[in-house]
Amino acid sequence: MPELPEVEVVRQGLSPRLIGQYLQDISIHNPSLRYPVPPILNNIMSGHQLMDIHRRGKYLLFEFDHEHLLAWHMGMSGQFHVLPASAPTAKHEHLRLNFSETVTLRYRDPRRFGYVGVLEKSDWQQHPWFINMGPEPLSDDFHHDHLHEICTLKGASIKSLIMNAHIVVGVGNIYASESLFRTGIHPSIPGKSLAKEQYQHLTSHIRQTLQDAIDAGGSSISDFVQVDGKPGYFSHNFQVYGRSGDPCYRCRSTIEQCKLGGRSTFYCPSCQPI
DNA sequence: AAGGTTACCTGCCCGC
DNA sequence: TGCGGGCAGGTAACCT
C-alpha cells in the first residue's frame, strides 16, 4: 500500500483519535508478520500514555510516556483502523492496541510484509532500520546538492536511485514514475548522466509530487484507505502510473511501460527522452 | 563492488 | 465456474 504520502495521511488520521489515550493492553491475534511481533510488546507498553505519532520515511513511530517507542512499517498491504472494542475481528487482523471501550487500534496486513518493533526512545535512530536512512524529502535536509553529489557517482538508473532509502526516503514505485515525468527525465537514465540542473528540478518535483499526494489524501490503488475508511484521491492525478497505452496528457504520445529493478515503470517517451 | 534479481505473502484480475 | 498465471504500493538478501 503505502509510500510516504499514504503513511503521512495515516499518521494525520490516527493522531487526533489516539494521542493522549492510555494503552490498556495489546492483543496479538497473529504474530506472523515480516518479523514476528515481539511477544514482550504487551508487557512493555501497557498502561502508558500515547504522547505523539511521528513519521520517518515510511515508518510510523508511536511515542509513549515510556523509554521505548513502537516503530511500525505497513509493508505493502498494512492498514490501520480505529474501531470500538466491540467491532468484530477482520480477516488478516494481526494485532490490536486496546485504549478504551470506544477506541481500539487494529492492524491488518494480508500480505504480511509489515512489521513492528520496540525501540529505545533515546537512540531509535541508531537502530538498523533507521541508521542509514537518507533525508526526509519534505524537509530542508533534502537538497539538490546532496542528491547530485550522491547520484552523479552511480551507474544505476535514476529511478532506482530515487527509490533507494539510503539516498532519500519515502519515494516508492508510483511517485518515482510521477516525479520523473514531471521533471521530464527518462527513468532509465543512469544517475551519472544527469546534469546538476536536472537534479535541482528533480528535487523540487519530488517534493511537490509527494506534497500534492498528501493534500489529496494519498493514492487509493488496490485497497489503501485512510483511517476513517475514505479513499485517497491522488490516483486521479496520475500522469503516467498505470497509464501505458494511453495518451500523454501533455503531448498525446502513448505512455510506455518497462521494468526497472523488477518494478513496473511508466513514462512518456516524448516528454522524457533518453 | 555495484547493481540487477529474487524471495517473502495473499488477493485479485484476466484469459482459457 | 474454475484454474493457472501474472501482477501488486516495500525491503533486503542474494547472485554476478
Contact A173, A240 (CB under 8 A): no
Residues in CB range of A195: below 8 A, 6 or more apart: none
Strand B: positions under 7 A of a protein C-beta atom: 2-11
Per-residue burial over A103-129, b if 16 or more Cβ lie within 10 Å, else e, is bbbbbbbeebebbbbebeeeebeeeeb
Are A158 and A274 in contact by the 8 Å Cβ rule? The answer is: no
pLDDT tens for chain A, residues 1 to 274: 589 999 999 999 999 999 999 999 999 999 999 999 999 998 999 999 999 999 999 999 999 999 999 999 999 999 999 999 999 999 999 999 999 999 999 999 999 999 999 999 999 999 999 999 999 999 999 999 999 999 999 999 999 999 999 999 999 999 999 999 999 999 999 999 999 999 999 999 999 999 999 999 988 665 566 667 777 888 888 999 999 999 999 999 999 999 999 999 999 999 999 8
The C-alpha cell at A46 is 501497557
Length A155 CA → B6 C1' (Å): 21
Q: What is the pLDDT of residue A231?
A: 78
C-alpha cell at A64: 509513549
Protein residues in reach of strand B (CB < 7 A): A 34, 77, 91-92, 110-113, 154-157, 160, 259, 261-262
Other Cβ atoms within 10 Å of A8 Cβ, number: 21
Distance A113 CA to C2 C1' (A): 29
Query: Is position A2 annotated as part of the catalytic site?
Result: yes
pLDDT of residue A226: 67
CB crowding A223-233: b at 16 or more within 10 Å, else e: ebbbbeeeebe
Q: How many Å apart are A38 CA and C13 C1'?
A: 22
Q: Which residues contact A215 (CB under 8 A, 6 or more apart)?
A: none
Tell me phi and psi for residue A177, to 5 degrees: -60, -45
Residues A24-69 have pLDDT tens digits of 999 999 999 999 999 999 899 999 999 999 999 999 999 999 999 9
Residue A163, phi then psi, degrees to nearest 5: -90, -5
Query: Which one is catalytic: A11, A55, A58, A106?
Result: A58
The whole-number pLDDT of residue A234 equals 86
A80, A92, A93, A74: which is closest to A34 by C-alpha?
Answer: A74
Residue A263 bears catalytic tag:
yes
pTM of the shown model: 0.96
- In this predicted model, what pLDDT tens digit does every residue of A219-232 receive, in sequence order? 866 556 666 777 78
